[in-house]
Each structure stands twice: as C-alpha cells, then as structure tokens.
A and B are shown apart, each in its own frame.
Chain A
Amino acid sequence: MSDYNFAYLDEQTKRMIRRAILKGLAIPGYQVPFASREMPMPYGWGTGGVQVSAAILTPDDTLKVIDQGADDTTNAVSIRRFFQKTAGVAVTEATAEASVIQTRHRIPEQALRSDQIIVYQVPIPEPLRFLEPSEVETRKMHSLEEYGLMHVKLYEDISQHGDIATAYAYPVKVEGRYVMDPSPIPKFDNPKLEMAGIQLFGAGREQRIYAIPPYTKVVSLDFDDYPFQPTKAAQECGLCGASDSYLDELIVDDAGGRMFMCSDTDYCTTRRRAGHVGAQGTAYAEDAA
C-alpha cells in the first residue's frame, strides 16, 4: 500500500474530518455532519471510527484496537492490520501504552489519562432514532432541546417493566445540553464517559461525528426516584477473579455450564500477570499467540 497517503486518507479529507472533530469538541455531544468517504471496509463495520482515527493518527502514535473489549476479535484484528499497513504505527494490546484507542462497544476498565484519545465506532448516532424515524424531525428536536420524548420512553419502561429497560447505548445528557447516544456500550460503562481522555465518536454510514472533551459532565438520563444504575453480572471473572469489571458469559459444555470472564482482555491479562487467579483459572504464564 505504498501508493496510499499516511493512514490511507488524503490530506484534504483529513482536514475536513479534523474540522468536524474540532466543531464536535466545541459543542460537546452535538452531531456534526461530515462527508464520510467510502473506505475499504464496509459501512457498518467501523468506517466512522476508522476515518476519525486516520485523521488524527501521527507516525509517533501507538494504536490499540478492541472490539467487545478484546484485541483478538476478528474485526479488531482487521482494523489494526489496516492501520499497520497504511500508517505503519506501533500497535499494542496494553491500554496504558496506547495513545489512540479505537473501540467497538466497550470502554477499557483502566481509566484513561489526559494524553490518550479514545475513538468509538457508532452504528446509529441519533439517540431519538427509534422514537422518531425522521432525520428532519430529530435535528429540530435537538436544536430546540425538545427531549420530552426521550423521557417518555423511560417512563413507559418503568410503567411496563418496573424499571428502565435500556441495557446498552444508554442515552446521556452532555454538559447539560445535548442528549447523546454513547454508542452501544453496556450501561455499566456509562460512568466512565466522564474521563480525562478525549472521546471522539464516528458514524461513517450515517455521516456524523461527535465528541466529548476531557472532564465534561455526562449524565445518564433517569428519574429522581429511579436513578441510573450501572449494572453488570454479579459473578466474578473465572480467570482473574475481578469483581469490578464487565463480564462475558461463556457456555463451556453441552450441559449448558457457564463461566464468566472479563470482557476487557488486557485488564484480565494484567491482573493475572500480577498474580490474581480466579476460580476457574490457573497461574499466569506467557501464552502462545
């Protein structure tokens, strides 16, 4: 791929995306329209995140790519390879060592620092989309701060199910103004949205970029008497014993036996390296790849 520009996109396109990013950072939570380019991977598979990463990467960066919290899932592998080929940047699985983290559906367990940027892949950027299918109407609702419908949905959940029935892509209010979809992260991750790092959100197919600058107030929508709760499975990680990380549930035998383990593979490996062992785990040894 030597014929391609650094990180694939031409400089004009990167400039266009950076302008959108700056606008997004200046208006936290506001969806900035941008002319998404056709990328070598399909729409819906992370092109928004890839375009944002491509626009911000420099040769000195260290990139981590995760999907469902793991570095080794196929789409994370594919995207990481893409940047290795087109940008030649250093890559890592260690959250602490990355300067740019591109993620799908999770925020790393380890708190990010102010010198780190996290780029989220977003399928549907519009939090009101499933309540109001028209784009023309939802843009009006955002500009007029007409968010009553959002709370109506939460009200309906409580009246029907006894509690708010949104488990992921849980809507938040950013800096007291815009209601935003934080991408399909589990609601367990919502509190992490208030962080020291820069957060950028890219939706390629829907052509929107939005952003949250460091230390911005991000509040998950709820009612005073039904406050937001970042829940997860009650179990511990079978490999490292962690009780504070988001867990994947695995079916391990034909009888339907289950096991839970950290979704964030780097977090789990780091704990195991430090000597923690879970109920179904063994002492850490450098695993073959």
Chain B
Amino acid sequence: MYVAVKGGERAIDNAHAWLAEERRGDLAVPELTVAQIREQMALAVNRVMAEGSLYDPDLAALAIKQARGDLIEAIFLIRAYRTTLPRIGGSAPVQTETMACDRRVSATFKDAPGGQVLGPTFDYTHRLLDFKLAADGEAAAVQTGTPHEGGTPHIMSYLDREGLIQPEVAQEAPPPDLTRTPLELPVARALRLQALARADEGFILGMAYSTQRGYARNHAFVAELRIGAVAVEMEIPELGFAIEIGEITVTECETVNQFQGSKTQPPQFTRGYGLVFGMTERKAISMALVDRALRWKELGEDNLGAPAQDEEFVLYHSDNIQATGFLEHIKLPHYVDFQAELELVRKLRRDAQAYREAAE
C-alpha cells in the first residue's frame, strides 16, 4: 500500500537549520565578522557591489558572510535588497577628472601629467603562496609620500585636443534605467553600458578575451586606467542647488582602438569605456573591450559574426543572477512534463512497432 510522500515544509525547515550550522562551521574557530570581510576581502566586496548595483561595503560584506563566500549568491542578496529601496532621484554624472587617484596607469604614453602611479596592485607580484600570511603576520610599514597636487587630467583629453579621438556626443535626456524598464533591442549605448557594468565578470572577461583572439579583433590600447574616490553630487529640489551626498571609489578604464576614416573624414581613434564600483580592474578593462565590440554598427564596421558583436547574445546572457536562476531551476521537479514525454515516446514506439508488423 503506497502512502503519498509529504513533508515538504519540514524538509525545508531542516535544510535551513543545517545550512546555518554549515555557515558557522567549526565552533572552535572564531566567527568571521562583517568588518573583517569588509576590510580584508575588499575585492570580493567590490565585485558584489558592482554586480549587485549597490554601493554599500557593509551590506556587501554581510551578504558575503550570509552567502558563505559564494559571490553570486551574495550578489543575489544585494539585488533583492536593492529592489525594495525607494528611488529618491538621480545624481549628477560623477566627474572622474577630479578623482583623487590611488592608481593611474596608461599604456599609450610613457609619461603624462599626473604620472604613472602603480597603486596597491597585484600586477608585479610574483604569484608565490606566502605562507607567512597563514600565521597572523603584521603588514610591513609602508613608506608615505606627498600626494600629487592638482587634479589628474584624462589622457584622452590630450588626444581630444588634437582632434585624434572620435568625439562622444553628450546626451541631454537622463539615461533610461535598466532596472525599471524592460530590455528591448536594439539598445542604446547607455543601456548597454549599464548592462555591462552589472554583468558577470567571468562572462565579460571571456567575451573580451575572444575579441583579443580574433573574434572581431580590434586592438585595444589602455589609454588610461584610474582608480580612486569621486564625489557623488545630487541636486536637491528643496535647496535649489546640488550638494555632495557621499564619496565612492570607482575604477575607470578608457581604451583607444583602431582608427576609422574615409576619403571625406580624416582618421580618428575610437574608444571603449568601462566604469565599475570599487577597485575592480579586470571587469573595467573587459567592459571597455566589449563596449567597443558592440559599437560596430554605429561606427560603420562590418558584422563579422563574432559573439562579442552580437548585442542580443551578450546582453541576454551576461546577467549572472538570471543565468544562475534559470540554470539551477532544472533541479526543481519537472516530473509532470517528463511524464508527458514518457507517454509520447511509448506511444510513438507502439505505433512504429504496429507499422512494422503490418508491413510484414
């Protein structure tokens, strides 16, 4: 005699309890604090803020703790939280030329005003596991220097002065909000950049890499990579003027790409652009390369059929929350549909058998 399986509610409760236990791990080990994650796992925090589209290092650190270190799960927590926040208004565009640069490098010129500032980069480290870190080591004292006076003008502005860079047209109207309007193709560049800014780093990295390997090859030079704090300003209607509401750290990458021209128009360099929350270089550079690849139509280039040129392919598959949700949903029960397929296959086999017998 068969008893129908029940107990879904109890199973879920038990699963959640066990999850909490696993999250805590060995009780003999001190519990991880949100502050520790914020301070000592800052690059993970940056990624969660960037792809969660929410600048709040404490919340991002909490999400990482709750997600047991699974960054996409943490990004999901941040996105869901963001949905519930009321929209007060829009800020003015951040002025990255006023950035106090912690890091600023250019591959296109040996030197430029503002200098080549390495900043706290992994770039020239030797990737050897440092076992001193396993024992609680103290960081060596760092030499201090005097900060650079005056702003750091964009490298692009010099090329711009000579008319060598294809100009960007300023838009009057505020850009549409990807999280408030459904994505419909074809997409304006502003929306494309929004989608890329919150896209999965690994996916965009792969796409960018593909352009370097020949899938819509467009040799990119990093004109400038800068990382530092910028002020966020917003116009307050009650005051009638704009005030600074806070400061954020961003990574900005501008790439210079192959020039374009015709008999009537002298050649100019074209550009790609990336901007990400926090110190998130890999993503910013990847974003700039993919941005440039997706601009083929407005720049009058050929569609070479490369994946990175396909707006629909890139934008529809770059959101890791959508991707993981749909991927993982196949774990859910599908037995009703599977039953339908079973019945169909059985029927078709019976029909085929009958046909064979009739033919004999």
Contacts and interface: CB of A to CB of B under 8 A. Distances in A.
A, B: real partners: yes
Interface of A: 4, 8, 10, 33-40, 42-45, 47, 67-69, 72-78, 81, 104-106, 123, 134-136, 161-163, 165, 167-169, 184-188, 205, 207, 231-233, 238-239, 246-250, 252, 259, 261, 263, 265, 280-282, 287, 289
B7 interface: yes
Contact of A68 (B1, B84, B336): B336
Contact of A281 (B1, B7, B312): B1
3 nearest A-B residue pairs (beta carbon): A43-B325, A44-B329, A42-B325
B93 interface: no
A167 B333 contact: no
B8 A250 contact: no
A44 B327 contact: yes
A35 B179 CA distance: 7
Given A4-B84, A72-B7, A233-B343, A42 B12 contact: no
Contacts of A106: 336
Contacts of A205: 322, 325-326
A110 B6 CA distance: 22
Max count, chain B CB within 10 A of own CB: residue among A43, A75, A205, A281: A43
B76 interface: yes
B181 interface: yes
B90 interface: no
B324 A38 contact: no
B332 A67 contact: yes
Contacts of B326: 43-44, 123, 205
B329 A239 contact: no
B344 interface: yes
Interface of B: 1-2, 4, 6-9, 11-12, 76, 79-80, 82-84, 86, 179-186, 312, 316, 321-322, 324-329, 332-337, 339-344, 347-348, 351-352, 355
Contacts of B325: 42-45, 47, 205
Given A38-B82, A162-B355, A282-B1, A105 B185 contact: no
A232 B347 CA distance: 11
A43 B348 CA distance: 35
Given A42-B321, A207-B183, A123 B337 contact: no
Contacts of A77: 8-9, 12
Given A73-B333, A231-B347, A246-B336, A44 B179 contact: no
A2 to B, nearest CB: 13
Contacts of A74: 8, 11-12, 332-333
Contacts of A67: 332-333
B343 A259 contact: no
A183 to B, nearest CB: 10
A105 B334 CA distance: 8
A73 B337 CA distance: 15
A263 B4 contact: no
Contacts of A8: 84
A87 to B, nearest CB: 15
A280 B3 CA distance: 10
A39 B80 contact: yes
Contacts of B183: 207
A233 B339 contact: yes
At the interface, is chain A mostly helix, strand, loop or mixed? loop
B135 to A, nearest CB: 40
B337 A40 contact: no
Contact of B335 (A33, A72, A161, A248): A248
Contacts of B76: 38, 42
Given A247-B339, A249-B342, A265 B316 contact: no
A207 B347 contact: no
A232 B341 CA distance: 10
B343 A72 contact: no
Contacts of A187: 340
A219 to B, nearest CB: 19
6 contacts: A38-B76, A39-B83, A72-B6, A104-B332, A163-B348, A280-B2
B2 A261 contact: yes
A135 B312 contact: yes
Contacts of A185: 336
Given A167-B344, A207-B183, 19 more contacts: A33-B184, A37-B179, A44-B327, A68-B336, A72-B9, A73-B8, A73-B333, A74-B333, A136-B312, A168-B337, A168-B340, A168-B341, A185-B336, A205-B326, A231-B347, A239-B2, A248-B335, A280-B2, A289-B9
A163 B182 contact: no
A78 to B, nearest CB: 7
Contacts of B352: 162
A75 B332 contact: yes
A261 B335 contact: no
Nearest to B80: A40
B322 A43 contact: yes
Nearest to B75: A38
B72 to A, nearest CB: 10
Contacts of B351: 162-163
A36 B182 contact: yes
B84 to A, nearest CB: 7
Contact of B328 (A42, A169, A184, A247): A42
Contacts of B7: 72
B180 A35 contact: yes
A71 to B, nearest CB: 9
